[in-house]
Amino acid sequence: MSNTPMMKAVGLKEYLPISDAKALLDINLPIPTPGERDLLVRVEAVSINPVDTKVRRAKRAPEENYRVLGWDAVGTVVAVGSNVELFKVGDEVFYAGDITRPGSNSEFQLVDERITGHKPKNLDKVEAAALPLTSITASEGLFERLGIHQEKSVGKTLLIIAGAGGVGSIAIQLAKQIKGLHVVTTASRPESRDWCLGLGADAVIDHQQDLVKEFRALGIQYADYVFCLNSTAQHWVAMSELVAPQGTICSIVEPEAPIDIGLLKSKSAHFVWESMFTRSTFKTADMLEQHHLLNRVAEWIDAGKIKTSLSKTLSPINAENLRLAHAQIETGKTIGKIVLTDW
């Protein structure tokens, strides 16, 4: 009989619709051993993102071994690799992780210290678990891809397509509270509109209507920056019309159909992608930036400048509750973030 220590996890072998009971399964796996720059984290809370559902429903051959999803976690460091410099055993951490490695839907997880941050002190584990992936995506999208810097951006206009989701909830706050932009976002339901306004948006327009007409009815001709968080192809023509000459569009959503980049030529406008997994996937020389980024977010949280986007909590962390969370995300109507806690 093996003496290998085991842990609870939720995984899959087949890529199935979430209505299938085998789409996500309760399993047991060996507790992993840290590599040189790894932290071994006891996972205490996780949150669900659209990427979880996209990976799970991908059309792929069955896995030989179980695959564990999950790209948001809060937990406590229980062991460290031989070259770890930034953390010690007992530290509370939060992170989104690395899409090329096993995810956070397990009792213990390995994560590179360079993409891990110290958990905000003023939040509990559930509130903090809502933040990592969306905070990294929003920060990289706004500050690195769109090039928003306080000294030149105060008073400029940012249009966020789909502001009530996880990334939008953080992006509204960062743009308004941290950088002083005029923030216009889109939402299609009264409850999502109210959520965006509550986070600091200056105006909310309906993305199910004529976006150009809705935006210009606010008395604004162009948006200096456009941050697309939903349906790139669907909104491409409107975004191309609304982006300012020499402005920039950033999207996090792969297009459902080809887009005509030529629409930006006369404006000398830019288009750029944001994927928060780029640094960890390609082991870029600046991976450590995500550590610094998460620590800045924690400082802003603790200073009361931004707040968690938690909207719903489920317990315990198991296959049944993860299937419920995936099903909710797939409706496309989720406001804020769903967090699961405790095993």
Which pLDDT score, from 0 to 100, does residue 1 have?
A: 45
Give the single-character DSSP code of 106: B
pLDDT confidence bin for 151, thresholds 50/70/90: low
Does residue 2 surpass a pLDDT of 80?
A: no
- For the chain, domains (ranges, CATH) are 6-131+280-341 (3.90.180.10), 137-273 (3.40.50.720)
β-bridge mates for residue 161, sequence order = 228
- The answer to whether the bond into 316 is cis (omega within 30° of 0) is yes
Gap between the Cα atoms of 72 and 98, Å rounded: 10
Does residue 185 surpass a pLDDT of 70?
A: yes
Structure tokens at 307: 């707040």
Which pLDDT score, from 0 to 100, does residue 155 have?
A: 84
pLDDT confidence bin for 58, thresholds 50/70/90: confident
Q: Report the mean per-residue pLDDT for the chain.
A: 96
Does residue 238 surpass a pLDDT of 50?
A: yes
Q: Which residues contact 111 (CB under 8 A, 6 or more apart)?
A: 38, 39, 41, 73, 93, 95, 97, 98, 101
Ordered DSSP codes for 176-225: IIIT--EEEEE-SSHHHHHHHHHTT-SEEE-TTS-HHHHHHTTT---EEE
Q: Give the mean pLDDT of 232-240.
A: 97
Residue 174 near residue 139, CB atoms below 8 Å: yes
Q: Give the mean pLDDT of 259-285.
A: 97
Gap between the Cα atoms of 57 and 124, Å rounded: 31
Predicted model pTM: 0.95
Q: Which residues contact 35 (CB under 8 A, 6 or more apart)?
A: 81, 110
Q: Give the mean pLDDT of 44-71.
A: 94
pLDDT confidence bin for 17, thresholds 50/70/90: very high
Gap between the Cα atoms of 152 and 220, Å rounded: 19
